[in-house]
Amino acid sequence: MIDREVADGIHPENIFVCGFSQGGALTLASVLLYPKKLGGGAVFSGWVPFSSSVTERISPEARKTPFLWSHGMADKVVLFEAGQAGPPFLQSAGVNCEFKAYPDLGHSLSQEELLYLESWIKSRLNASQEKDG
């Protein structure tokens, strides 16, 4: 899917992959195992679906892709502790990850999360355009 976007002329640093719950786990695998730096990855109420051995397969370019990880503290489906373990996993692999906790949020997305995601993506798109400019 990412390769198709790149083939259509989208610069990899303008591609953001986001996923909720199991989609967050898929986001991690897709972004970390892609050979190039992307604009970013965002995980909502997700968890790390693989062992630390996968970090050996992350390319130096992929390690430059930033992540946003959000999790509701009232999540009863994917426990907050499981989500909270994700950013340290990424950071131990040399991947930049920002973590946001939402105290009253269960296993769902909030308007606040989506608005923050929007500003997070826009700031990275602007930085990418200034660098290319």
Distance CA 24, CA 14 (A): 19
Instruction: At 100, give phi and psi (nearest 5°).
Output: -125, 125
Cβ-based neighbours of 62, under 8 Å, separated by 6 or more: 31, 32, 33, 34, 35, 36, 37, 38
Q: Which residues are catalytic?
A: 21, 75, 107
